């Protein structure tokens, strides 16, 4: 199933994001978590693409496994980092041979040690160019792009960031999946600005359930997502109690999801961090509600 088909009706859909583990032990653990998560029939499972293409082969392998063994549609992430146009076409060819028909098209972050993103000679500078490349070679594929409710860190203003998103959409994207956020007001404001700018494709909120306060602090510092003071205070008070952190994280994410669903979002994309416990609790509560 392609991304355009996923959001073709009025049904609320769920999707899951994973990353390729670095060890065999991590692989086995992820397989166990995915077997639990696919019971909820996610519309697709996406797999990230390492910095500089460091997990390129692993991304394709995991997408194959998701589709062949778990019988769920997969979406492979692809970035412009470290690849020429011809190399990107080769990656797309490999993905096509593996049966992948959905791509999350991203510019990607600057490699470690570099202050800003710079395209390699013969490469692509912007995500909209990657969307155009995919559409040129595989016009029927599903293409997702990233949106930033709190603005991309490199954008000088919300207006500039929205113009960048509009270019990606106009290049042929099927859906926008947002960066993680912890305040729904940020998402609703972003959605309104998108609609005013003429972006009419589905805008899917990305939710990351908090399971470890220290880890989420590192993640938000890298991606620029803000952290509500009251939530931070509650988590700081139990920073030595993992079970309490999970309970607070699930409670907050569930409240987000319930409000988002009530406000008519087409679905929710869960950043699962290769675990299943928090997502399962939230999905059980949503299905019961």
The answer on pLDDT for 275 being more than 60 is yes
Please classify residue 221 by burial: count the beta carbons closer than 10 Å to its beta carbon, then call 0-12 exposed, 13-18 middle and 19+ buried. exposed
User: Which of the four pLDDT bands, split at 50, 70 and 90, describes residue 51?
Assistant: low
Q: Where do the domains of the chain lie?
A: 3-212+252-288
User: Is 17 assigned a catalytic role?
Assistant: yes
Arithmetic mean of pLDDT, 130-140: 98
| Angle, alpha carbons 19-79-27 (nearest 5°) | 15
Per annotation, catalytic residue among 17, 129, 132, 150? 17
Tokens of 109: 């972050």
pLDDT value of residue 49: 86
pLDDT value of residue 171: 98
Most confident range (mean pLDDT) of 52-66, 179-193, 213-227 is 179-193
pTM attached to this predicted model? 0.95
Domain 3-212+252-288 CATH (choose: 3.20.20.220, 3.40.50.1820, 3.40.50.620, 3.90.1150.10): 3.20.20.220
* Per-residue model confidence as pLDDT tens digits over 198-250: 999 999 999 999 999 999 999 998 888 998 999 999 999 999 999 999 999 99
47 neighbors 20 (Cβ within 8 angstroms): yes
The answer on pLDDT for 281 being more than 60 is yes
DSSP category for residue 39: G
pLDDT value of residue 119: 86
pLDDT value of residue 39: 97
First and final C-alpha spacing in the chain: 27
The answer on pLDDT for 110 being more than 80 is no
């Amino acid at each position: 199933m392609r991304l355009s088909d996923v959001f073709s009706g009025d049904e609320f859909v769920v999707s899951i994001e994973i990353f390729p583990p670095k060890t065999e032990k991590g692989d086995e653990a992820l397989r166990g978590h995915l077997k639990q998560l696919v019971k909820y029939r996610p519309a697709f499972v996406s797999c990230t693409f390492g910095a500089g293409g460091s997990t390129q082969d692993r991304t394709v392998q995991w997408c194959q496994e998701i589709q062949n063994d778990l019988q769920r549609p997969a979406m492979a992430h692809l970035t412009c980092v470290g690849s020429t146009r011809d190399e990107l076409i080769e990656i797309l060819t490999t993905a096509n041979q593996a049966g992948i028909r959905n791509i999350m098209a991203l510019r990607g972050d600057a490699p470690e040690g570099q202050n800003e993103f710079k395209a390699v000679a013969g490469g692509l500078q912007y995500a909209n160019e990657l969307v155009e490349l995919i559409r040129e070679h595989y016009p029927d594929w599903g293409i997702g792009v990233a949106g930033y409710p709190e603005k991309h860190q490199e954008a000088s203003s919300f207006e500039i960031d929205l113009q960048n998103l509009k270019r990606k959409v106009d290049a042929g994207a099927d859906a926008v999946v947002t960066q993680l956020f912890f305040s729904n007001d940020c998402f609703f404001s972003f959605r309104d600005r998108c609609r005013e700018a003429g972006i009419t494709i589905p805008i899917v909120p990305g939710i990351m359930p908090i399971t470890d306060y220290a880890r989420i602090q590192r993640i938000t510092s890298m991606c620029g997502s803000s952290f509500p003071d009251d939530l931070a205070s509650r988590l700081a008070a139990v920073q030595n109690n993992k079970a309490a952190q999970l309970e607070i994280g699930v409670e907050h994410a569930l409240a987000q999801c319930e409000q988002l669903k009530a406000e008519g979002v087409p679905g929710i994309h869960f950043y699962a961090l290769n675990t299943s416990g928090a997502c399962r609790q939230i999905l059980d509560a949503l299905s019961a509600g």
